């Protein structure tokens, strides 16, 4: 579609404030061309490791080794017996679903692209920068949010869920990741502030009439220290499994829903801080004729990251002969570059800081 025509179509879609859900409710049977993606069917089987955290007190070294192996290779793992109650997980998924299924008039006041607002409902965070629009609507909530800032459907549930993920799982994971880097347990939390902020993105992927033409979420890595993702039973999340020997063999592998599990992935900040020992890996969500699919991502990054002067620098272990692979930077600069590079294909945020 020609640039100008496409921009008008995007603006018209955005102006409805009704999201992809609005298109589906209007009964469309074909995916509009603004949502058309280049097909990428590279697929392979790969099992993302499932790590049982219940054995942590008796077998800590073994759990650290599992976390280390996953963080250094595929960058993704699932955790079970993680301490976040299943009731809080299902309540969170239900809250995101019920918000998205409210009438347009109820949701429209939250619809905004103003990054200064802590609570934002929008279809496609990157609508105007991504090569093609994606089959998904998102309610983004930066925590802590004032109760009156949050839509009623999420008011009680979202802060409670975010708090549980942070206190019961986030802290534990940072302890394990610190030890996996050969550092003391409290290092990433206390010295690096990795537990300082969490934001919650509630994603809603409506059923799609022509799923092969579009994507739910385009391939990306996360601009976080790490992300904890809750997905319902529909499925569609895929991770890019790289083949170091032969790059052409890299392909998308399913991260299938597992009852009670949470998906954890390393983000760009941790890849930089770990000096490439940990991998922030690309992932995406395919569209599906079955739906809606609901997922909830907890992004661990400092509150007000966009103006944070916190310095990020690679941690290089003494005496291993290695040297820093990135220049040090601030959170503010990272976030600015992230937005600047968005939409520029083939340039990754980390490449920009690589020495």
Q: Does 222 bind Ni ion (CB under 5 A)?
A: yes
Closest C-alpha to 293, from 7, 65, 2, 24 = 24
Q: Does 297 bind ligand OGA (CB under 6 A)?
A: yes
Interface residue with ligand OGA among 157, 229, 264, 305 (CB under 6 A) is 229
Q: Does 124 bind ligand OGA (CB under 6 A)?
A: no
Q: Does 158 bind ligand OGA (CB under 6 A)?
A: no
User: In 165-278, at which residue ranges do the beta strands (DSSP E only) sit?
Assistant: 198-205, 215-220, 226-231, 237-241, 251-254, 262-266
Q: Does 282 bind Ni ion (CB under 5 A)?
A: no
Shortest gap between Cβ of 95 and ligand OGA (angstroms)? 16
Task: Give the x/- contact pattern for ligand OGA in 234-273, rule: CB under 6 A.
Answer: ---x------------------------------------
Contact window for Ni ion (CB under 5 A) among 196-204, 205-213, 215-223, 251-259? 215-223
Q: Does 134 bind ligand OGA (CB under 6 A)?
A: no
- Cβ neighbors of 202 (< 8 A, separation 6 or more) are 92, 95, 96, 99, 100, 138, 139, 140, 141, 154, 158, 294, 295, 296
Q: Using CA atoms, how far apart are residues 312 and 349, in angstroms rounded to an integer? A: 14
Q: Does 232 bind Ni ion (CB under 5 A)?
A: no
Shortest gap between Cβ of 16 and ligand OGA (angstroms)? 22
Identify which of residues 92 and 266 has a Cβ nearer to Ni ion in the complex: 266
Closest residue to ligand OGA using C-beta atoms: 295
Q: Which long-range contacts (CB under 8 A, 24 or more apart) does 349-353 make?
A: 349/221, 349/223, 349/268, 350/268, 350/271, 350/272, 350/280, 350/326, 353/272, 353/326, 353/327, 353/329
238 CB-contact burial (10 Å; exposed 0-12 / middle 13-18 / buried 19+): buried
| Positions that interact with ligand OGA (CB under 6 A) | 201, 203, 217, 222, 229, 231, 237, 283, 285, 295, 297
| Positions that interact with Ni ion (CB under 5 A) | 222
């Amino acid at each position: 579609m020609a640039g100008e025509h496409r921009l008008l179509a995007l603006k018209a879609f955005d102006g409805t404030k009704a999201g992809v859900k609005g298109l589906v409710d209007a009964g469309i049977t074909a995916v509009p061309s603004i949502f058309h993606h280049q097909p990428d069917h590279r697929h392979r089987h790969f099992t993302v490791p499932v790590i049982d955290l219940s054995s942590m007190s008796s077998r800590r070294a073994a759990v650290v080794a599992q976390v280390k192996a996953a963080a250094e290779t595929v960058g993704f793992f699932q955790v079970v017996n993680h301490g976040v109650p299943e009731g809080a997980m299902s309540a969170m998924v239900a809250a995101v679903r019920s918000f998205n299924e409210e009438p347009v008039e109820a949701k429209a006041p939250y619809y905004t692209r103003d990054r200064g607002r802590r609570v934002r409902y929008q279809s496609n965070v990157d609508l105007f920068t991504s090569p093609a629009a994606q089959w998904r609507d998102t309610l983004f909530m930066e925590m802590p949010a004032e109760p009156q800032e949050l839509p009623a459907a999420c008011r009680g549930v979202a802060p409670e869920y975010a708090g549980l993920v942070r206190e019961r799982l986030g802290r534990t994971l940072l302890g394990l990741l610190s030890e996996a880097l050969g550092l003391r347990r409290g290092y990433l939390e206390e010295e690096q502030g990795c537990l300082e902020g969490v934001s919650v993105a509630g994603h809603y992927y409506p059923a799609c009439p022509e799923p092969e033409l579009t994507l739910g979420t385009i391939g990306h890595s996360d601009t976080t220290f790490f992300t904890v993702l809750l997905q319902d039973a529909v499925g569609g999340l895929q991770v890019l499994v790289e083949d170091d020997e032969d790059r052409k063999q890299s392909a998308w592998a399913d991260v299938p829903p597992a009852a009670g599990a949470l998906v954890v992935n390393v983000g760009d900040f941790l890849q930089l801080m770990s000096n490439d020992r940990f991998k922030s890996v690309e992932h995406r969500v395919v569209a599906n004729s079955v739906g809606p699919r609901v997922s909830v991502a907890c992004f661990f990054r400092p509150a007000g990251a966009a103006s944070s002067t916190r310095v990020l620098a690679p941690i290089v272990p003494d005496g291993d002969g290695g040297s820093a692979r990135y220049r040090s930077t601030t959170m503010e600069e990272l976030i600015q570059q992230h937005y600047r590079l968005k939409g520029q294909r083939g340039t990754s945020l980390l490449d920009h800081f690589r020495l």
